[in-house]
């Protein structure tokens, strides 16, 4: 059965949070805590969802809440590698067209721009 794992790193002033496995009511609390920690250090965050095979609306609420907080303070949350066939909730709720989606982390980093350009996003 699919295991759940989280990891994070910082590259060029951008935090990258990688999720592996599945995001549901039993795992989204850990993501919530990690994103809260990461936000204390970085205002530009890439959430790498390429290895996520399931996501529910509880997890989506966690992501949306951090997205809101980052945007509210001039930062950014970028989603990388989200696939419609796995992350149905992102599309059904219409969030896929409102949030910043990138094919992969490299593309998201390029879009984030050089270090220190947090408020120049979008």
Partner 1 sequence: MAGPAAGSRDLRHLALLHRGQPGDVPALWGIIRGSLERDEGLLVAAPDASAERLRTGLGAESSRVTWMDMTALGRNPARIIPAVLTFVAQCQGRKVTCVTEPVWPGRSAGERQEAARHEALVNLAFRGVPATIVCLYDTTALPRSVVADAAATHPVILSEGREQASTSYREPAKPPAHCNRTLAPPPPQSGELRYHRDLRPVRSFVAKAAQQAGLSSPRAADLVLAISELAANTLRHTRAGGTLHVWRSSGTLICQVQDTGQITDPLAGRRSQSPDTPGGKGLWLVNQVCDLVQIRTRQGSTTIRLHMRLAQP
| Tokens of residue 46, six digits | 């890439």
Distance, CA of 92 to CA of 39 (rounded, Å):
27
Place of tokens 């896929």: 96
Cα–Cα dist 16/8, whole Å: 5
Nearer to partner 1, 51 or 57 (CB): 57
Between CA 11 and CA 98 the distance in angstroms is 25
- Judged by beta carbon, residue 85 or residue 114, the one nearer partner 1 is 85
Which CB sits closer to partner 1, 61 or 111?
Answer: 61
4-63 positions binding partner 1, by CB under 8 A: 22, 24-26, 54, 56-58, 60-62
* Cβ-based neighbours of 117, under 8 Å, separated by 6 or more: none
- Interaction of residue 65 with partner 1, rule CB under 8 A: yes
Which parts of this chain interact with partner 1 (CB under 8 A)?
1-2, 22, 24-26, 54, 56-58, 60-62, 64-65, 67-68, 85-86, 88-89, 92-95, 98
């Amino acid at each position: 059965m699919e295991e759940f794992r989280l990891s994070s790193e910082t590259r060029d002033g951008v935090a990258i949070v990688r999720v592996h496995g599945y995001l549901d009511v039993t795992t989204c609390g850990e993501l919530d805590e990690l994103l809260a920690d990461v936000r204390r250090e970085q205002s530009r965050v890439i959430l790498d969802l390429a290895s996520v095979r399931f996501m529910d609306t509880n997890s989506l609420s966690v992501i949306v809440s951090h997205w809101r907080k980052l945007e509210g303070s001039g930062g950014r949350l970028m989603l990388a590698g989200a696939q419609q066939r796995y992350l149905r909730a992102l599309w059904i709720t219409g969030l896929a067209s409102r949030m910043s989606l990138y094919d992969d982390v490299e593309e998201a980093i390029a879009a984030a721009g050089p270090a220190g350009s947090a408020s120049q996003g979008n």
